[in-house]
């Protein structure tokens, strides 16, 4: 026994759905009988126009997948056999009929997909973390609060970067801290925005850079220079136990090398031990920078 759902689980099927279901029902019956017999019986309930409309619409994906598999298994083109029984071959009816309303809805859906996709991409990208600023325009080596946050971001770092001095023209644009790193961005009034960007991380790879003298005890200093036509880039790596500060200076204008000479003067370091002691003193011993080390 074959059970045929003529409404395809729809309480109020559309005229197109009814036409497709009529043709599908006749095809299902013809699988176990004969197209001529099914066609003759169908004429008792439906007009030739209704049957013609049904076979005009029942094509491709309009046929249920189970019905398509059964038709292939029998090796018969029952659809073509029914079409030959019709007085006039039907003109195919497309599943999708385009209109201005449908195009507008499709464009709206695409815009929503792009918008949601952009939100998801931003939520999982590292760029968002780097663009989460502390909201401070100062990072002097005595500004304890942002220094504590940097130290907590990279718990292994024995040194924490700070702004030692700001030569004329340099400004601290942003300090961003997130799990595993902190980023300091400095602008220059003539060299441009983000002329100097320094990143504190747990490690770095100074391969290809040359080691040079360091101004801070316990810090190994490396320098790599990349010079191209119209641009000058130098990268410094300051390594110390448990951490590294990678500073990248990118200039497109520096005719006398003045800005490049000033950049190394900007950053300094504060030890983790000093920050730990300062936090303990300010909180009367209630707070610890590294709770796991508290006695």
What domains appear along the chain, each with residue ranges and CATH number?
Answer: 15-85 (no CATH), 133-293 (3.40.1000)
User: Using one digit for the tens of pLDDT, what is the confidence trace for 107-126?
Assistant: 999 999 998 887 776 555 44
- DSSP, res 11: S
pLDDT at 231 over 90: no
- DSSP, res 53: H
User: Using one digit for the tens of pLDDT, what is the confidence trace for 121-158?
Assistant: 655 544 444 556 678 888 999 999 999 999 999 999 99
pLDDT, residue 128, reads 47
pLDDT, residue 69, reads 85
Pick the closest to residue 269 from 152, 186, 160 (CA basis).
160
Range scoring the smallest mean pLDDT among 5-14, 74-83, 139-148: 5-14
∠ Cα 214 218 221 (to 5°)? 30
Percent of the chain with pLDDT over 70: 83
Tokens of 125: 């990208």
Q: What does pLDDT average to over the chain?
A: 83
∠ Cα 273 139 248 (to 5°)? 95
Polymer length in residues for the chain? 295
pLDDT, residue 126, reads 47
| List of residues 6+ apart from 147 with CB closer than 8 A | 139, 141, 160, 162, 270, 275
Helix axes 15-31 and 35-42, enclosed angle (nearest 10): 140
Query: What is d(CA 170, CA 167) in angstroms, rounded to the nearest whole number?
Result: 6
Query: What does the CA dihedral 234, 240, 242, 244 come to, rounded to 10 degrees?
Result: -10
User: Using one digit for the tens of pLDDT, what is the confidence trace for 54-77?
Assistant: 888 877 667 778 888 888 888 888
**pTM exceeding 0.75:** no
């Amino acid at each position: 026994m074959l059970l045929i759902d003529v409404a395809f689980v729809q309480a109020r099927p559309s005229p197109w759905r009814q036409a497709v279901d009529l043709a599908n029902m006749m095809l299902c019956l013809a699988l176990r009988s004969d197209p001529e017999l099914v066609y003759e019986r169908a004429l008792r309930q439906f007009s030739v126009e209704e049957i013609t409309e049904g076979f005009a619409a029942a094509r491709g994906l309009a046929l249920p997948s189970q019905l398509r598999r059964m038709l292939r298994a029998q090796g018969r083109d029952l659809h073509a056999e029914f079409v030959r029984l019709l007085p006039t071959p039907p003109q195919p009816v497309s599943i999708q009929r385009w209109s201005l309303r449908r195009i507008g809805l499709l464009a709206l859906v695409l815009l929503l997909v792009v918008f949601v996709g952009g939100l998801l991409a931003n939520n999982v990208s590292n760029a968002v973390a780097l663009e989460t600023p502390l909201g401070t325009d100062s990072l002097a080596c005595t500004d304890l609060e942002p220094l504590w946050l940097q130290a907590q971001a990279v718990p292994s770092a024995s040194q924490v970067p700070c702004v030692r001095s700001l030569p004329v023209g340099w400004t601290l644009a942003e300090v961003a801290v997130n799990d595993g790193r902190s980023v300091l961005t400095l602008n220059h009034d003539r060299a441009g925005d983000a002329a100097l960007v320094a990143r504190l991380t747990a490690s770095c790879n100074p391969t290809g850079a040359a080691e040079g003298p360091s101004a801070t005890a316990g810090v190994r200093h490396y320098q790599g220079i990349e010079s191209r036509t119209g641009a000058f880039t130098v990268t410094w790596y300051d390594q110390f136990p448990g951490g590294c500060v990678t500073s990248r200076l990118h200039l497109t204008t520096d005719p006398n090398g003045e800005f490049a000479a000033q950049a190394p003067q900007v950053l300094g370091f504060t030890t983790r031990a000093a920050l730990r002691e300062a936090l303990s003193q300010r909180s009367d011993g209630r707070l610890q920078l590294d709770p796991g080390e508290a006695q």
